[in-house]
């Protein structure tokens, strides 16, 4: 074994109920290198990193740190070995402040709160993170929570830091900060493992890339020897580069009737005097940085959030004013909102696929149903599993057991079962593998072709440009620019989103 290898796995295998999540994986991480792990959902990336972080214990195989064979049985043990992990689902305590979360587990016998806040402030500033240390974590947005997670890992002075989808919730500017931070850590000799579905990030940032498929390692090589097409091919075993963001739109659908108009919508402090329209038979893409008020605007439309009580503006659905205080009447009026946070708002994770979809259908009935039909639930479930090609062990599989892409399909099916006229997709492919992305994109296009009014909110520019017929750019709580698909360029959109 070479001296510059800080961590390695040899024939690593982890079985769940006899089924391998990873099987015979050889992996090594060099000192001061940035190593990207890519693969479809269910490829075993998270399991592999969880093994390194002591969250999961290997069924067979060995792990070494600095040449010494180890078997961490908990994250604390792994941290003592110098391996820290920033999780995809953040592990912060929402009722505690940022500073308290940073120093959690490092408390002294006597803790002076003011001292913690000052130390946290200095530390966050050194990382260029704009987060107030006195804020309760529960009050932070997803991006800032992620920053706190990253800061905590850095604070623990780990020699190996593992990031699971670190940039999924970050804005482009925040991503730049993150990349700079990672490069800075590398200079200090820290080794980085990061999982990302954004292949450009892997190509841009990593020194080496490992591709996993179906729990096995396909290839490890220098990043310079990869391009996007080669990674995708290694990930899925087929060439998807032209179906996924590859081809620029040359035609656009004509607008049908105006389905939705928001006029001077206000919801302090996120939505400020926002006005926009959505038309039938078109995909309206909404791009903006985190905090631009995109999600909040459409949550108001769908009755998930309430606009300002006084002078909150107007929402017109098919030219009639509406004010949905809860989502149920919006569903009945033909509005479906597919959430960006599927794990919290999207489904009941311990319920079956069929039951989740059936519950979506139930919300369409004005006063619910006195009796629920198991047969009807199974039929609805089976129909949608077939329509959206949801891959599960069986119809009775629980949603928690599905991969990210299939979970997202369940959330979409739950909304489409309501037969809406206006469908709002909020980050429809976040944390979804490339194979499922293609299928979800095809579905979104099909809905627009059928004459539905479709809104796609996304922070990922290639996705917005690949899908949208018209692109609305949101900044500081309002739509500031509109582009047709044919005139839009990444530069124009980013300029409008930032300046």
CA–CA separation, 343 vs 327, rounded Å? 18
Of 262 and 436, CB closest to another protein: 262
Q: Quick check: 109 binds another protein (CB under 8 A)?
A: no
349 binds another protein (CB under 8 A): no
Closer to another protein by CB, 198 or 255: give it. Answer: 255
Q: How far apart are CA 467 and CA 258, in angstroms?
A: 19
Query: Looking at the DSSP assignment, which residues form a beta bridge with residue 163?
Result: 86, 194
| Tokens representing residue 218 in the block | 């396909």
Least spacing, CB of residue 224 vs another protein, in Å? 43
Which residues 454-473 are close enough to bind another protein by CB under 8 A? Answer: 470, 472
Decide: 56 and 29 in contact? Cβ < 8 Å.
no
Half-sphere exposure of 75 (CA within 13 A, CB side): 13
Binds another protein by CB under 8 A, chosen from 46, 101, 191, 277: 277
Considering only the stretches 15-23, 49-57, 261-269, 443-451, report the one whose residues sit in contact with another protein under the rule CB under 8 A: 261-269
What residues contact residue 489 under an 8 Å CB cut-off, 6+ apart?
Answer: none
Interface with another protein by CB under 8 A: which range of 110-118, 135-143, 166-174, 479-487? 479-487
Minimal distance, residue 333 CB to another protein, in Å: 17
| Residue the block writes with tokens 């500031």 | 480
The yes or no reply on residue 261 touching another protein (CB under 8 A) is yes
- Residue with Cβ nearer another protein (262 or 388): 262
CA-only gyration radius of the chain, Å: 23
For another protein, give the closer residue by CB, 25 or 471: 471
235, 39 Cβ separation under 8 angstroms: yes
CB of 270 to another protein, least distance (A): 18
Smallest distance, another protein to C-beta of residue 486, A: 9
Q: Tell me the closest approach of the beta carbon of residue 28 to another protein, in angstroms.
A: 54
Residues 6+ apart with CB under 8 A from 183: 34, 205
Task: Compare residues 157 and 323 and give the one whose CB is closer to another protein.
Answer: 323
Partner residues linked to 162 by β-bridges:
85, 193
Order of strands across the sheet that contains 314-317: 271-279, 258-267, 314-317, 320-322
- x/- mask, another protein, residues 202-241, rule CB under 8 A, reads ----------------------------------------
Contacting another protein (CB under 8 A), which of 395, 482, 492, 494?
482
Cis peptide before 269 (omega within 30 of 0): yes
2 versus 251: smaller Cβ distance to another protein: 251
Please identify which residue in 10, 91, 220, 275 interacts with another protein, judged by CB under 8 A.
275
State which of positions 290-329 bind another protein (CB under 8 A).
Answer: 309-314, 316, 319, 321, 323
How far apart are alpha carbons 308 and 300 in whole angstroms? 10
Distance CA 147, CA 188 (A): 19
Distance CA 10, CA 24 (A): 7
DSSP 344: I
Is 263 a binder of another protein (CB under 8 A)? yes
Give the closest residue to 340 by CA, choosing from 138, 141, 152: 141
Q: Measured from the CB atom, is 100 or 277 closer to another protein? A: 277
Nearer to another protein, 145 or 266 (CB): 266
CB of 278 to another protein, least distance (A): 9
Q: Largest Cα–Cα distance of the chain, in whole Å? A: 71
Give the separation between CA 261 and CA 134, rounded to whole angstroms: 39
Footprint on this chain of another protein (rule: CB under 8 A): 252, 254-255, 257-258, 261-264, 275-277, 279, 309-314, 316, 319, 321, 323, 470, 472, 479, 482, 484
């Amino acid at each position: 074994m070479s001296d510059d290898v800080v961590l390695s796995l040899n024939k690593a295998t982890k079985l769940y109920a006899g089924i391998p999540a990873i099987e015979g994986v050889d992996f090594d991480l060099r000192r001061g290198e940035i190593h990207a792990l890519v693969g479809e959902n269910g490829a075993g990336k998270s399991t592999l990193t969880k093994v390194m972080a002591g969250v999961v214990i290997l069924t067979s195989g060995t792990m070494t740190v600095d040449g010494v064979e180890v078997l961490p049985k908990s994250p604390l043990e792994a941290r003592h070995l110098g391996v820290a992990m920033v999780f995809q689902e953040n592990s912060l305590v929402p009722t505690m402040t940022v500073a308290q979360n940073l120093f959690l587990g490092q408390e002294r016998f006597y803790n002076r709160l003011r001292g913690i806040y000052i130390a946290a402030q200095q530390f966050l500033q050194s990382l260029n993170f704009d987060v107030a240390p006195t804020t309760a974590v529960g009050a932070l947005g997803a991006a800032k929570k992620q920053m706190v997670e990253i800061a905590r890992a850095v604070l623990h002075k780990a020699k190996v830091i593992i990031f699971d989808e670190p940039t999924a919730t970050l804005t482009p500017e925040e991503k730049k900060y993150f990349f700079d931070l990672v490069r800075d850590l590398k200079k200090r000799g820290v080794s980085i493992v990061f999982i990302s579905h954004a292949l450009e990030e892997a190509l841009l940032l990593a020194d080496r890339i490992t591709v996993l498929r179906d729990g096995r390692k396909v290839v490890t090589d220098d990043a310079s020897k990869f391009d996007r097409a080669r990674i995708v091919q290694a990930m899925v075993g087929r060439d998807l580069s032209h179906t996924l963001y590859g081809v620029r739109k040359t035609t656009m659908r004509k607008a049908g009737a105006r389905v939705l108009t928001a006029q001077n919508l206000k919801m302090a402090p996120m939505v400020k005097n926002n006005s926009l329209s959505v038309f039938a038979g078109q995909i309206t893409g909404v791009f903006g940085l985190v905090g631009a008020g995109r999600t909040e605007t459409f949550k108001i439309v769908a009755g998930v959030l309430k606009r300002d009580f006084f002078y909150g503006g107007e929402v017109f659905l098919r030219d009639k004013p509406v004010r949905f205080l809860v989502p149920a009447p919006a569903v009945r009026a033909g509005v479906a909102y597919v959430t960006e946070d599927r794990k919290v708002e999207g489904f009941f994770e311990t319920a079956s696929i069929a039951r989740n979809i059936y519950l979506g259908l139930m919300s369409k009935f004005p006063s619910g149903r006195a009796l629920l039909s198991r047969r009807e639930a199974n039929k609805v479930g089976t129909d949608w599993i077939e329509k959206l090609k949801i891959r599960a062990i069986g119809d009775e599989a629980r949603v928690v057991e599905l991969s990210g892409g299939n979970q997202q399909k369940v959330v979409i099916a739950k909304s489409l079962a309501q037969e809406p006229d206006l469908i709002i997709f909020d980050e429809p492919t976040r944390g979804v593998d490339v194979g499922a992305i293609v299928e979800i994109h095809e579905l979104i296009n099909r809905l627009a072709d059928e004459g539905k009014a479709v809104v796609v909110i996304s922070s990922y520019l290639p996705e917005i440009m690949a899908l949208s017929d018209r692109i609305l750019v949101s900044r500081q709580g309002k739509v500031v620019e509109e582009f047709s698909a044919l005139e839009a360029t990444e530069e124009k959109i980013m300029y409008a989103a930032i300046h």
